[in-house]
Amino acid sequence: MASAKYVFVTGGVTSSLGKGIISASLATLLQSRGFRVTIQKFDPYLNVDPGTLNPYEHGECFVTDDGAETDLDLGHYERFLNHPTSQANNVTTGRVYQSVIEKERRGDFLGKTVQVIPHITNEIKERMQILGNSGDYDVVITELGGTVGDIESLPYVESVRQLCWERPDDCAVVHLTLIPYLSAAGELKTKPTQHSVKSLQESGVFPDVLVCRTEYELTESIRRKLALFCNVQTDSVIQSIDAATIYDVPKLMKEEQLDKVVLKKLGLSHTGEADITNWEEFVYHLNNPKHTVDIALVGKYVELKDSYKSISESFIHASSFLRCKVILHWICSEKLDATSAIESLKNMDGVLVAPGFGPRGIEGKLYAVQYARENKIPFFGICLGMQASVIEYARNVLHYVSAHSTEMNPETSYPVIDIMKAQKKVINMGGTMRLGSCACELKKGSIAHAVYGVDKIDERHRHRYEFNNLYLNDFEKLGMKATGINPESGLVEIVEIPNHPWFVGVQFHPEYKSTVANPHPLFVSFVKAALKNKS
């Protein structure tokens, strides 16, 4: 069995340059050539995982099939490659140190003094090679979080140095950097990139490829200058000009021949051009819609749109599939009351109430649900959004005026949403929710059954509270139906209102499984309903 090849993607000059998108774009090109590719993210923060991080701190927490709470970049990896990731695809410094300390406590190091080198770096290298050693992949792309020069990133850079030294024929380093444009001088400046590469070289890592983020085209003279001062080949200076959407980047990287440069460095044979015809069709349909719809996304984290990254990307996938541009209106649930909800939602073709935790903004979500339900506007509730639809229905249709979730009001007289039995004794917050892929059986004749076209599905979860089955008969008698049930626990996964044009609440997170190649059917159906409502 041939050993896997490794590509390490580092970043310099500034954060948020798009290492994840470059990694995913390179992987897309290599995958289109027939290579088996995966991507992993190594994050330098001390949290064991992003599960307890506030969305304002780190954006969305993405969940994998095996229940790992991971960085949002793994969502990009899955959306681009149409291939699931796992716990092994995301590692943090916290997890690395936790593992090393546990080994030390067990006596695995035989009394040795435990140090960053070799113990921490050995742990990092071992984790960097887990997916490569599985035999499932030809190329493993590793994105290093943070920016070269950060103190917390040093152990990762050192680990890359050691791997490149140990396996010189199997490793390539791609360094993503910024070429700023100074308007006063009227020119692009290469000095920040030179300093960034110098810092990387001082750590013993020598980049093979420079990917240069820029607002303006790089001239041939700038490419030669960068190649000379940064010790790379001129054809290894890759321009990454600002794109209209992230989905334009694979085509731009193909034009710059990033895949060919990397394959040459890795010694992998290749002929012709990468075939991304299906991808280009996706982008064409996305950029040339035949219709538009206005959809409200109601949540409490709307100031930071990365908090709902998978949801917004799922709408993009549905937009391309239907040739219907979704214009998202980001509405803060904290600012909604009975009056402002009408004003904010009256021109919407559909309403989505987003996931979340805690009491902040919950009443605004209830007003949004009520407006969509009473005015027959297509409604989609996800996780807490589904729970909000249950609470609103209990209050205004069942007339359980004080109905609530015990998450928000532990003393409510009508706990229509209650903590799951398995969660009642949980003390630690991190990694203890109901996480990952779970089965759901669909009732025939429901919207969900028609949308999925099968009797049983698997979707990903991240929650502690659930529909309280003690009230299920009350709801079903007055028109809200449970149309999706977990076969093992009896947990209500989906609720619908049959006498509404399109009203669906799901306890799971369908947005985690939507990809470019396979837009999620619930999002496609919801956008269709919104378009029908508009017309």
Nearest to 203 by CA among 167, 158, 164: 158
For β-strands 434-442 and 415-419, DSSP reports them as: unpaired
Partners of residue 324 on adjacent β-strands: 291
Nearest to 136 by CA among 102, 88, 175, 94: 88
The catalytically annotated residue of 383, 392, 461, 493 is 383
- Give CA–CA dist 333/356, Å, rounded: 11
CA distances 119 to 8, 43, 116, 139, Å, are: 21, 18, 6, 26
Q: Is residue 303 classed exposed, middle or buried when 0-12, 13-18 and 19+ CB atoms within 10 A define those classes?
A: exposed
Question: Do 8 and 122 meet the contact criterion of CB atoms below 8 Å apart?
Answer: no
The sign one gets for the Cα dihedral 218, 224, 228, 233 is positive
DSSP per-residue string spanning 121-150: HHHHHHHHTHHHHTTS-SEEEEEEPS-TT-
- Give CA–CA dist 491/438, Å, rounded: 11
Whether 383 sits among the annotated catalytic residues: the reply is yes
User: Structure tokens of 369?
Assistant: 């649900």
Question: Do 6 and 140 meet the contact criterion of CB atoms below 8 Å apart?
Answer: yes
User: Structure tokens of 130?
Assistant: 């887990």
Whether 509 sits among the annotated catalytic residues: the reply is yes
Q: How many residues does the chain have?
A: 535
Q: Which residues of 436-466 are buried (b: 16+ CB within 10 A; e: fewer)?
A: bbbebbbeeebbbbebbeeeebebbbbbbbb
The catalytically annotated residue of 317, 463, 509, 520 is 509
Q: Is residue 21 classed exposed, middle or buried when 0-12, 13-18 and 19+ CB atoms within 10 A define those classes?
A: buried
Question: Do 509 and 460 meet the contact criterion of CB atoms below 8 Å apart?
Answer: yes
User: Structure tokens of 26?
Assistant: 């390179």
Residue 133: φ, ψ to 5° = -80, -10
H helix or E strand, kind and range, residue 295 = strand 291-299
Nearest to 498 by CA among 448, 439, 442: 448
- Give CA–CA dist 12/19, Å, rounded: 10
- Give CA–CA dist 126/96, Å, rounded: 10
Q: Tell me the residue type at 505.
A: G
Segments in 212-301 forming alpha helices (H): 220-230, 249-255, 258-266, 277-287
Residue pointed to by tokens 């460095």: 265
Q: What are the catalytic residues?
A: 383, 509, 511
